[in-house]
Structure 1
Amino acid sequence: MSGDLLMVEGLSKRFAGRGRSVRALDDVSFSIRKGETLGIVGPSGSGKSTLARVLLRLIEPDAGRILIDGEDWRSLSPKALRHRRGDIQMVFQDPLSAFNPRTTIGKAIMDPLRIHAVGKRHSRMAALAELLQRVGLSADMASRRIHEVSGGQRQRVALARALASRPRLVVLDEALSALDVSLRGQMLELLVRLQRDEGISFLFIGHDPAVVRMISHRVAVMDQGRIVETGDADAVFSDPRSDTGKALIAAIPTWR
């Protein structure tokens, strides 16, 4: 790992409604190095998912900067943003809601290949088969419809679609929380292997500290829209300094 891929400086976001204002993000700053996984953990309502959506400019922040290799992501025009969206991709918690359930797996993955002009037209079928193979699915699944496959398979399809544009950063927003323990372990192994082989950076957002610890090099703890603690994953989980970090670790179930 060398050099910062992503630098976030002073991100803030308020939501107003019903006569009140909620500060979802409050002066959030952090960085992610190339080939690194930063875990984000915190209680419900701490701002984790808002942060993910702001990074992808699905919603706009009120203040702050998002720098990718030193380029201000927020300064990109709509046309430039469409061109650059392939650099950052997102995998959501519920893979079914992220797809048209009637579409085929092949079309779901082929669309980003076409939109981001990855490869030549005649080579995209081979690229589709390779993407499916990379996430542990067979090429013949391309003809299956999204609603016909299991939740674990849909999450692999979602990851394959995210990888289709050859991103440099993938944001995983509670992407493994709906999977059972064995499928979650398989997906964690897959992410580690992809990062090792291709140098992808991950922002891994989760509510389960044990899972976040397994995948992350560094961890940031969020509460009430702020990052209240950050550091090496083992150090944060072994000896949390913030009250929020201590509460999260204390809530991890133990068995004797």
Structure 2
Amino acid sequence: MIRPVRSYLYVPGDRADRLLGARTRGADALIVDMEDAVAPANKQAARELVADWLTPEPGPQVWVRINAESTTDDLAAVVRPGLDGVVVPKADPDVLAAVDARLTALGSDAAVLPLVESAAGLVRVAEIAAAPRVLRLGIGEADLIADLGLRPGPDRAELAPVRLQVVVASAAAGIARPVGATSTDFRDTDAFRESARTLARQGFRGRTAIHPAQVPVIHEVFTPTDDEVATARDVLDRFDAAGGGGAVDARGRFIDAAVVRSAREVVALSAGR
């Protein structure tokens, strides 16, 4: 139903000017933000603005980040034609169950992307990954850093164990690879590129952006190269020709289920190029 996504561009839900051109910014998906980007006094205005803006149009997927403490009101406003999914901040299994029930009552087939943003969420990340409608996980690193009392260095190596838990939970649940957190320093594209490469090595297959300038960098890092795509297609062709068993790749290595799964992921990601 929903194609692979490399980039998710955040757009403030109370800014009509930002929403107006958001679909032309080149991102695979938009996250219309009704949470952190919107002041408490503007929440209702944001609901009304987003509800009016949401229409089925060609272009990027459209997700809305709701508020964990007002899921009922937020979902009532944004469940409209044109909504692909809902981003749930501060996710835990109870909140996700309530979101699923509300979406079902509203007759929506929207997917869910939970954000793991707390120690409590991290402890229950396997349950979160297995919750209804969950397509993939995201990670809210700023909130996690505060909750865990971390003091990351420039390379943020201290976050590697936390990220790994999210990656493992995603793989165990059989959902899409997780999406990495953005950087607020959108002017330093070189640093953003390096940190995106680190995320890719750690098992992430996409990233959020707070500025359109970050989108091309995300695509550069998370889009397979021509050689990678050719190798993946060759693996799949050999596997199919062997009837699903006993195949070897061009270097004589056995093609097992894990190799096939990785090859399919590469081909799927290449469709966004």
TM-score range, shorter chain: 0.3 to 0.5
Higher relative contact order (CA 8 A, sep 6+): 1
More strand by share: 1
TM-score, normalised via structure 1 length: 0.35
More helix by share: 2
